[in-house]
Structure 1
Amino acid sequence: MAKERRRGAGSCAIEISLRGSANAPRFPTSPCQGRERSLTKARRFGGRGNGETRPTAKAEPATDGGNTVRERRAPSQTSAPNLRRSGTRLTLISASSTYSRQSPNVLASLASEIWEDALITSQDTGNPSILILTPVKDAASHIETYLKGLERLSYARELLSLGMLESDSTDGTFAHLRSLQARLEKRFNRVTLCKRDFGFKMPATVARWADAYQLQRRAVLARSRNHLLMRALDDESWVLWLDVDVIDYPADLVETLLSAERDVVHAHCVQQYGGPTFDLNAWRDKGKLHMSDLRGANAPVRLDTVGGTVLLVRADRHRDGLIFPPFPYGVHNLRIRDSHPVWGRGEIETEGFGIMASDMGIQCWGLPDYEVLHHE
């Protein structure tokens, strides 16, 4: 659907929304969709497709009622200045207001060209945009290690964005993040830093996993994740949830998670490589099996719930309504545990996310043989 949007005197913009139309062409939403691909055992959990030759098109005039609008030509990289693309929204910017005076048929013609350019561009690159999201609290001591890990990532800068939400810190975490914004903007296409306090503080002498505070703590963490998601997500294709105290992972983390080709995929978080699972929120069979119990598959394995330490989610699943419940969720779902020792039936936060995903018909997956290291 095309619509005209004014951009001040003497110029206009035509915006094409790729959502909401049943007949609209769809961008590939995974690195391999819409192209031939060869899988080799040399790549973990799958590979990306071979390159394809860009199709060519004969030049032909676009007309409206006998009036030539402009020559249509095969899409090319040289036309990029006229086409601004961000995920699933395209904007064609004109140097003058000429198009604003043309009939709807002219706009439709231009829209058709943009569809064609965008689809070919997406198939050529095969690399989707990623939004990394990290909620933080009292994390000043982890920020430097966290940033060094992000700066080691091999994924292209122009395809990576970052969102961070700080809440209820007493160690100056937010001020520290603001002081590093220029550094962050050198590494990422877009940076969102926001603050939202929930008024939740635990006694300094109490461990964060203490039963007395577990339900309230995880409810606040779920709310923090949801607030961050709503404020930071733009048109990215994928969301990578990454905890600030995950201290080591391969530079090709993003590529490896994408190569699993699953809508929800969780890396195996440990405190020692080859050691027991740290993120026990990822499980199946009513909590009887965790990631360390599933090693040796060398492929994605089915999970009933996930953790949030390193979690890749197709962004459209979030847009469809998949969030982190800040309350015990899924009491009628057969996958939940019989009873939690603190809050009884239902699952909360990332575990609630997994149960909600199953209610939406979305399978969660884990990579038990792909390990990332968490701070001890």
Structure 2
Amino acid sequence: MARPMGSVRLKKANPCTLLLGVVLCIFIIFFLVSPSTTTTTARLAVDTAQHHLSPPTSPYRKPRPRSGAELRPPPVAHYNLNNVTVTPDPVGNEEHILILSPMARFYQEYWDNLLQLSYPHELITLGFILPKTKEGNAATTALQKQIHKTQKHGPEKDRFKSIIILRQDFESAVPSQDESERHKMANQKERRAVMAKARNSLLFTTLGPSTSWVLWLDSDVVETPPTLIQDLASFDKPVIAPNCFQRFYNEEKKEMDERPYDFNNWQDSDTAQQLAAQMGPDEILLEGYAEMATYRALMAYMVTGPADNMIIPLDGVGGAALLVKADVHRDGAMFPPFPFYHLIETEGFAKMAKRLGWQPYGLPNYKVYHYNE
């Protein structure tokens, strides 16, 4: 029988081919609509903070929803500060330490000393604040270089939990950071007011809900015992200061020697209190200057021998090295940039801590060492 002109005979489709086509279509549709950020999300969960109120870690990144998708609100974080322990055994209880250092110049010895601290570095957060000056810019560059070297390429044991760098948005009080210029009596009120502002900015920005202790460590303190944190914490005091000295070459003895450096750790005197009573509201008492003899008992001159458990109450403290229970700062003790009972900065902090019921202490025979310019 002849076929009509122009007709076409269709082949019957193979069931296997149809099944394969259906599977392929389902795969394509799934690929197009499924999230493609699974790997990225997993990585960011480690690299970034979980939400914008997280304590200092890596920066919080606001999620970007797909077009048309509903943006869910950020999670609510709950912190129970009753679970934050502050004990004489901070290592055994895995207590988090915040080391804060105002910095105008970078000293390699300071960084090397940080690295040799035996406290577990994964429990240590570092915080720095630097001025926006020529010297401050150079210090920031040098600091960032060492941070990159340690955090990215250094041994795991040397890497710190996190590091925060701040740049202060107010002018320095003195044009030079040379030791002779910094310690002129005429510069002290303005200089220490700026230092107090820097310390407060650094503290209020970095203190997190998991912090147990705050170690204030000046960036020109270049030598401490490796067990500094454990040693100071073992006394279980709210505020405790070691004795800051300085190594130098003694020309008379023709050998290396040491001398007191920080004179802000002291016990008050009747003379100092009488001077304060005669001062105007904006005047401050200063220590270590012949022009203002206070006759306070200075911890710098109370050394009796090698490091031991000798401990004394203090009325004023210095900031070269100072371990503070985080609760002292949470209670409101800060560094007054204004005359507070005629005291300012770290000495004003000691007065404020005492007014809040936290007694500072000092260790005359436990020494740390300041850089010698």
| Coarse TM-score class (shorter-chain normalised) | 0.5 to 0.7
3-state secondary structure, aligned to 2:328: helix
Q: Return the alpha-carbon distance in structure 1 between the equivalents of residues 218 and 72 of structure 2.
A: 47
Q: CA deviation at 1:315?
A: 0.9
1:192 counterpart residue number: 164
Q: Return the alpha-carbon distance in structure 1 between the equivalents of residues 336 and 324 of structure 2.
A: 16
- Is the Cα contact below 8 Å between 1:31 and 1:126 reproduced in 2? no
Indicate which of 270, 279, 300 corresponds to 2:262.
279
Q: Return the alpha-carbon distance in structure 2 between the equivalents of residues 363 and 188 of structure 1.
A: 30
3-state secondary structure, aligned to 1:308: coil
Structural mapping, 1:63-212, within 5 Å: 125-137=92-104, 139-140=105-106, 142=107, 144-171=108-135, 172-185=138-151, 187-204=159-176, 207-212=181-186
- What is the identity, as a one-letter code, of the residue corresponding to 1:305? G
3-state secondary structure, aligned to 1:316: helix
- What is the identity, as a one-letter code, of the residue corresponding to 1:213? N
Indicate which of 368, 372, 375 corresponds to 2:364.
368
3-state secondary structure, aligned to 1:271: strand
| Alignment deviations for residues 154-197 of structure 1 (CA, whole Å, 9 cap, x no partner) | 11011111000001432311222233332353521010011013
Q: CA deviation at 1:308?
A: 0.3
Deviates more, 1:196-205 or 1:262-271: 196-205
Indicate which of 335, 340, 357 corresponds to 1:324.
335
- Is the Cα contact below 8 Å between 1:277 and 1:291 reproduced in 2? no
RMSD (Å), alpha carbons? 2.8
- Aligned pairs, how many? 258
Percent identity of equivalent pairs: 35
Q: Return the alpha-carbon distance in structure 2 between the equivalents of residues 290 and 308 of structure 1.
A: 15
- Structure scoring higher RCO (CA < 8 A, sep ≥ 6) equals 2
Q: CA deviation at 1:302?
A: 0.5
Q: Return the alpha-carbon distance in structure 1 between the equivalents of residues 113 and 123 of structure 2.
A: 17
Q: Which has the higher strand share?
A: 1
Q: Does 1:257 align with 2:224?
A: no
Q: Return the alpha-carbon distance in structure 1 between the equivalents of residues 367 and 257 of structure 2.
A: 8
Q: Return the alpha-carbon distance in structure 2 between the equivalents of residues 225 and 12 of structure 1.
A: 31
3-state secondary structure, aligned to 2:181: coil
- What is the identity, as a one-letter code, of the residue corresponding to 1:291? M
Q: CA deviation at 1:374?
A: 0.8
TM-score where L is the length of structure 2: 0.63
CA separation of 1:259/1:200 partners in 2, compared to 1, >3 Å: closer, same or farther?
same
| Alignment deviations for residues 347-373 of structure 1 (CA, whole Å, 9 cap, x no partner) | 110011111111111100001110011
3-state secondary structure, aligned to 1:237: strand
CA separation of 1:14/1:195 partners in 2, compared to 1, >3 Å: closer, same or farther?
closer
Q: Does 1:305 align with 2:316?
A: yes
Q: CA deviation at 1:255?
A: 0.8
- What is the identity, as a one-letter code, of the residue corresponding to 1:277? P
3-state secondary structure, aligned to 2:193: helix
- Is the Cα contact below 8 Å between 1:266 and 1:365 reproduced in 2? yes
Q: Kindly name which structure, 1 or 2, has the bigger radius of gyration based on alpha carbons.
A: 2
- What is the identity, as a one-letter code, of the residue corresponding to 1:169? T
3-state secondary structure, aligned to 1:357: helix
3-state secondary structure, aligned to 1:353: helix
Indicate which of 297, 300, 306 corresponds to 1:292.
300
Q: Return the alpha-carbon distance in structure 2 between the equivalents of residues 163 and 220 of structure 1.
A: 17
| Alignment deviations for residues 15-44 of structure 1 (CA, whole Å, 9 cap, x no partner) | 43214xxxxx54432145xxxxxxxxxxxx
Q: Return the alpha-carbon distance in structure 1 between the equivalents of residues 328 and 257 of structure 2.
A: 32
| Alignment deviations for residues 102-140 of structure 1 (CA, whole Å, 9 cap, x no partner) | xxxxxxxxxxxxxxxxxxxxxx94231101000011x03
Deviates more, 1:353-362 or 1:273-282: 273-282
1:241 counterpart residue number: 216
3-state secondary structure, aligned to 2:99: strand
Q: Return the alpha-carbon distance in structure 2 between the equivalents of residues 223 and 145 of structure 1.
A: 26
Q: Return the alpha-carbon distance in structure 1 between the equivalents of residues 146 and 242 of structure 2.
A: 28
Q: Which has the higher helix share?
A: 2
Q: Does 1:16 align with 2:78?
A: yes
- What is the identity, as a one-letter code, of the residue corresponding to 1:135? P
2:351 counterpart residue number: 355
Q: CA deviation at 1:324?
A: 0.5
